[in-house]
Amino acid sequence: MLYKVAILLLFVACAYGYEDCGSKDGSVVSVTIANCDNDKKCVLKRNTNVSIEIAFTTNADSDTLTAVVHGVVLGVPLPFNLPNPDGCKDSGVSCPLRAGQSYTYKTSLPVLSSYPKVTVDVQWELKDKEGNDVVCILIPSQIK
């Protein structure tokens, strides 16, 4: 549970200084994380809401888009269940996705005061109907 909370916070935490971790069926255009002032490690402040936007293009058609988040702690990816993993609902993305088109995925998550102060790499994936990563980003983060 502690790692899941850390993962949630961290994925929302940082946007600048992200790295592509295996985007297969698309490419990242930009990542913006609100109130992330550090370009090497995004600091998430507890008791705030953090918004993330991922602009991307896709190389394949897909009727679905699913968000999958892992917190990577000591090299071990720990899954985090998102309240709304459907990337086609309430995210700014209209499905179906069409190859060659650009999209912007948006979500917002609370950073609760009960979350532990930890350093975690957040792995954020947007998967197509075949389960392939349209986008995969790794975000170095820290909860404070």
Mean pLDDT of the chain: 82
Q: Where are the domains of the chain?
A: 2-143
| Cα–Cα distance for residue pair 86/120, rounded to 1 Å | 24
Rama region for 96: left / alpha / beta (φ>0; ψ in -120 to 50; rest):
beta
85 forms bridges with which residues in the sheet? none
Whether domain 2-143 has CATH 2.60.40.770 = yes
Q: Does the pLDDT at position 131 exceed 50? A: yes
**Confidence tier at 117 by pLDDT (50, 70, 90):** confident
Encoded tokens for 138 = 């790794």
Q: Does the pLDDT at position 8 exceed 70? A: no
**Other beta carbons less than 10 A from residue 95's beta carbon:** 16
Q: Does the pLDDT at position 125 exceed 50? A: yes
Q: Does the pLDDT at position 63 exceed 90? A: yes
The amino acid occupying position 19 is E
Going by their DSSP bridges, the two strands 66-73 and 42-44 should be labelled as: unpaired
Q: What is the pLDDT of residue 56?
A: 97
